């Protein structure tokens, strides 16, 4: 496929404000793609040249890109920047310069050629990098038509905002080959194991359904995490879990998946970011202490004081997530990883094995005298009284609560299920859990808040069935001045001109933002509301809303927007709050 054809699709995708149209346009695009291109196209439509979890960044700031544009179309960098300021968008400025430049021909570069050049730019390092990047991009731009120029420019800048979610891509892949969505669940299963859309798409296009089925866990590709359900009380949990079940402390740190291949360790966060460089102490611990040639295990990392044997609160642990002074922080606040599951061992995907067998295997590779990678403590329980007792013990130790696990359940990647049930400490009268919302829009400030530029937020949750973000609340109180300022910084970066295609709303904030940042919000109650679209029920003309919402914390570091609370979770929490009160 020529890149100019892909660029025409970019135009169409950019113009739509409806999710179903995105699926339709994408499926047409995919239909035209060859097997050897489909993976690359999946990355390119998300503005990348690698799956999102690979830290491959093209790494060109505005001024470098402007230099390339100038070089391609015989203008100075300043002239490019001036036009960019006037147009408000670098792609549009570049396209105009490209049209004006008198070129005899443009080479019809293919998608693969453009992809490879961009990937090459990402790999330059060391001396002379800037010049190499600038000249390679200039060469690409010179060889493209102006529509292609408009979109390519946004890729190194990270400003290609087509708003296409992974589930939308999965739907479109199925439709492209079968005419409907029937292969979506199977494609999703393969995606949950590897998190790599391009890889799944290529297997599918090369070998059909057998290609999807052949996708297995791969060391180095993060697995979409299994997540827990909530229940209103211990009695209900016993009913769900059967006569015997496992219980573990719920550590309040952050989830880390450890991929071990001999002495090579890779670490991934809950939102599947590569964190290997951030936690040298965990890397060293995993090399020394995990007794397996190859393994993928999961655990919760928590800052821990080995002398007093105290767990440190989340606010301390989270200091380890910064990107600078890594070694120094590793000494000051060493992490312990409490391993709680094993998914892959010595060359075999063991996710299908029941939990109790995986736990036995985990125990066989993690010794009780380990210092860094330790086993999460586990008890086998039978009754609601035992749950309550264990829960109170853990809370008094400063932990977050309990995780209950079904003994005979496989590891279910990429979703919530009753194989894991979480019980968190919460105050009487409040919901059993906080709600993870996505920032969708901002209301400009009035009165005192004009100073911050932000007066309130419009937040939503994720409708996983529709791959859409739906509104659930306006949040105006409970933010400190500093938090208002932080929202301002975030929204300046993410502001978009019109409502993004995957946002479904009945109300208009002062301006929309790209759905990207997750905020953890506490509320007193979930109520029915005619103005919000979360869980919209047309028979009653109402959705769900949060009563007295207040911000707990920003979760931009460990949750992607699609990891926000979903509509089906809110429906359950809505029902559970009645059970709790009566």
Residue 171 binds ligand ATP, judged by CB under 6 A? no
Local structure of 105: helix, strand or coil: coil
Q: Degrees (nearest 5) of the Cα angle 312, 320, 293?
A: 100
Work out how close the CB of 578 gets to ligand ATP at its nearest, in angstroms, rounded to a whole number. Answer: 21
Residue 228 binds ligand ATP, judged by CB under 6 A? yes
Select the span of 36-44, 220-228, 317-325, 532-540 touching ligand ATP (CB under 6 A): 220-228
Work out how close the CB of 255 gets to ligand ATP at its nearest, in angstroms, rounded to a whole number. Answer: 3
Nearer to ligand ATP, 162 or 412 (CB): 412
Q: Which of residues 262-301 bind ligand ATP (CB under 6 A)?
A: 270, 300
Nearer to ligand ATP, 193 or 255 (CB): 255
- Please tell me the distance from the alpha carbon of residue 307 to that of residue 142, in angstroms, as a whole number: 62
Residues with active-site annotation: 250
Residue 376 binds ligand ATP, judged by CB under 6 A? yes
483, two tokens? 């938090």
Name which position in 403, 487, 490, 523 contacts ligand ATP (CB under 6 A).
403
Select the span of 209-217, 224-232, 477-485, 507-515 touching ligand ATP (CB under 6 A): 224-232
Work out how close the CB of 26 gets to ligand ATP at its nearest, in angstroms, rounded to a whole number. Answer: 28
Name which position in 250, 259, 353, 419 contacts ligand ATP (CB under 6 A).
250
For the chain, percent helix, then strand, then coil, each to nearest 5?
A: 40, 25, 35
**3: enclosing H helix or E strand:** helix 3-15
Asked if 77 contacts 70 with a C-beta cutoff of 8 angstroms, the reply is yes
How many residues bind ligand ATP (CB under 6 A)? The answer is 13
Residue 422 binds ligand ATP, judged by CB under 6 A? yes
Nearer to ligand ATP, 58 or 376 (CB): 376
Residue 248 binds ligand ATP, judged by CB under 6 A? yes
Residue 196 binds ligand ATP, judged by CB under 6 A? no
Work out how close the CB of 44 gets to ligand ATP at its nearest, in angstroms, rounded to a whole number. Answer: 30
Work out how close the CB of 270 gets to ligand ATP at its nearest, in angstroms, rounded to a whole number. Answer: 5
The burial class, CB within 10 Å (0-12 / 13-18 / 19+), for 156 is buried
Nearer to ligand ATP, 237 or 403 (CB): 403
Q: Which of residues 18-47 bind ligand ATP (CB under 6 A)?
A: none
Known binding-site positions: 248, 255, 270, 300, 340, 416, 422
Q: Which of residues 40-79 bind ligand ATP (CB under 6 A)?
A: none
The burial class, CB within 10 Å (0-12 / 13-18 / 19+), for 177 is middle
Residue 126 to residues 123, 133, 302, Cα–Cα distance (Å)? 10, 12, 35
Local structure of 106: helix, strand or coil: coil
* Among candidate residues 509, 534, 505, the one with its CA nearest the CA of residue 437: 534
Give every CB contact of residue 169 below 8 A, 6+ residues apart in sequence: 26, 42, 45, 197, 201
Nearer to ligand ATP, 184 or 270 (CB): 270
- Please tell me the distance from the alpha carbon of residue 345 to that of residue 260, in angstroms, as a whole number: 9
Select the span of 174-182, 222-230, 271-279, 307-315 touching ligand ATP (CB under 6 A): 222-230
Select the span of 110-118, 149-157, 250-258, 511-519 touching ligand ATP (CB under 6 A): 250-258
Nearer to ligand ATP, 202 or 433 (CB): 433
Residue 193 binds ligand ATP, judged by CB under 6 A? no
Bridge partners (DSSP) of residue 338 are: 300, 374
Work out how close the CB of 362 gets to ligand ATP at its nearest, in angstroms, rounded to a whole number. Answer: 12
- Please tell me the distance from the alpha carbon of residue 358 to that of residue 348, in angstroms, as a whole number: 12
Asked if 472 contacts 518 with a C-beta cutoff of 8 angstroms, the reply is no
Residue 251 binds ligand ATP, judged by CB under 6 A? yes
Work out how close the CB of 341 gets to ligand ATP at its nearest, in angstroms, rounded to a whole number. Answer: 7
Select the span of 195-203, 247-255, 261-269, 285-293 touching ligand ATP (CB under 6 A): 247-255
Looking at 145-196, list the stretches that DSSP marks H as alpha helix, in order from N- to C-terminal side: 146-157, 166-178, 184-194
* Among candidate residues 352, 350, 467, 348, the one with its CA nearest the CA of residue 419: 352
At 119, give phi and psi (nearest 5°). -65, -35
Nearer to ligand ATP, 379 or 528 (CB): 379
Select the span of 14-22, 232-240, 243-251, 573-581 touching ligand ATP (CB under 6 A): 243-251
* Among candidate residues 151, 114, 161, the one with its CA nearest the CA of residue 136: 114
- Please tell me the distance from the alpha carbon of residue 196 to that of residue 216, in angstroms, as a whole number: 12
- Please tell me the distance from the alpha carbon of residue 320 to that of residue 571, in angstroms, as a whole number: 35
Name which position in 10, 115, 340, 391 contacts ligand ATP (CB under 6 A).
340
**256: enclosing H helix or E strand:** strand 254-261
Nearer to ligand ATP, 95 or 241 (CB): 241
Residue 150 binds ligand ATP, judged by CB under 6 A? no
Work out how close the CB of 254 gets to ligand ATP at its nearest, in angstroms, rounded to a whole number. Answer: 6
Known binding-site positions for ATP: 248, 255, 270, 300, 340, 416, 422
* Among candidate residues 202, 196, 201, 113, the one with its CA nearest the CA of residue 152: 113
According to DSSP, residue 471 is labeled: E
Asked if 339 contacts 362 with a C-beta cutoff of 8 angstroms, the reply is yes
Nearer to ligand ATP, 48 or 250 (CB): 250
- Please tell me the distance from the alpha carbon of residue 193 to that of residue 184, in angstroms, as a whole number: 14
Chain positions contacting ligand ATP, by CB under 6 A = 225, 227-228, 248, 250-251, 255, 270, 300, 340, 376, 403, 422
């Amino acid at each position: 496929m020529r890149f100019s054809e892909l660029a025409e699709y970019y135009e169409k995708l950019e113009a739509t404000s409806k999710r179903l149209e995105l699926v339709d346009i994408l499926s047409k695009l995919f239909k035209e793609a060859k097997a050897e291109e489909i993976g690359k196209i999946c990355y390119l439509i998300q503005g990348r040249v690698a799956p999102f979890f690979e830290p491959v960044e093209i790494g060109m700031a505005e001024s470098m890109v402007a230099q390339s544009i100038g070089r391609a179309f015989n203008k100075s960098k300043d002239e490019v920047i001036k036009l960019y300021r006037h147009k408000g968008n670098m792609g549009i400025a570049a396209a105009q310069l490209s049209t004006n430049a008198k070129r005899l021909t443009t080479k019809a570069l293919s998608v693969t050629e453009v992809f490879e050049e961009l990937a090459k730019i990402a790999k330059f390092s060391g001396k002379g990098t800037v010049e190499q990047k600038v000249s390679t991009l200039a060469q690409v731009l010179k060889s493209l038509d102006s529509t292609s120029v408009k979109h390519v420019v946004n890729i190194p800048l990270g400003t290609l905002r087509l708003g296409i979610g992974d589930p939308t891509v999965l739907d479109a892949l199925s439709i492209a080959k079968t005419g409907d969505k029937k292969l979506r669940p199977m494609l999703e299963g393969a995606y949950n194991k590897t998190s790599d859309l391009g890889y799944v798409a290529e297997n599918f296009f090369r070998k059909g359904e057998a290609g999807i089925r052949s996708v297995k866990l791969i060391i180095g590709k993060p697995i979409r995490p299994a997540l827990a359900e909530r229940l209103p009380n211990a009695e209900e949990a016993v009913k769900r879990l059967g006569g015997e079940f496992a219980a573990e402390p719920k550590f309040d740190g952050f989830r880390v998946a450890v991929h071990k291949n001999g002495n090579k360790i890779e670490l991934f966060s809950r939102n599947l970011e590569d964190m290997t460089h951030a936690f040298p102490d965990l890397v060293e611990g995993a090399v020394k202490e995990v007794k397996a040639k190859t393994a993928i295990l999961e655990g919760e990392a928590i800052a821990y004081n080995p002398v007093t044997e105290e767990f440190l609160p989340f606010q301390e642990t989270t200091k380890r997530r910064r990107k600078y002074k890594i070694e120094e922080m590793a000494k000051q606040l060493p992490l312990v990883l409490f391993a709680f599951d094993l998914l892959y061992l010595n060359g075999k995907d063991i996710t299908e094995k029941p939990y109790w067998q995986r736990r036995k295997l985990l125990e066989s590779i993690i010794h009780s005298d380990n210092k860094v990678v330790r086993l999460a403590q586990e008890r086998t329980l039978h009754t609601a009284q035992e749950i309550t007792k264990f829960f109170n013990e853990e809370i008094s130790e400063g932990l977050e609560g309990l995780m209950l696990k079904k003994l005979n359940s496989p590891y279910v990647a990429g979703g919530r299920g009753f194989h894991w049930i979480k019980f968190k400490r919460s105050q009487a009268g409040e919901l059993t859990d906080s709600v993870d919302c996505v920032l969708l829009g901002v209301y400009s400030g009035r009165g005192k808040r004009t100073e911050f530029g932000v007066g309130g937020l419009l937040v939503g949750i994720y409708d996983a069935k529709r791959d859409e973000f739906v509104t659930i609340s306006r949040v105006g109180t409970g933010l400190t001045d500093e938090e208002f300022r932080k929202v301002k910084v975030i929204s300046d970066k993410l502001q978009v001109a019109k409502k993004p295609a995957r946002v479904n709303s009945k109300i208009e904030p002062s301006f929309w933002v790209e759905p990207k940042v997750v905020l953890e919000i506490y509320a007193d109650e979930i109520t029915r509301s005619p103005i919000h679209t979360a869980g919209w029920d047309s028979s009653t003309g109402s959705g769900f809303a949060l009563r007295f919402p207040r911000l707990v914390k920003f979760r931009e570091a460990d949750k992607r927007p699609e990891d926000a609370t979903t509509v089906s979770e809110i429906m359950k929490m809505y029902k559970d709050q009645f059970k709790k009160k009566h």
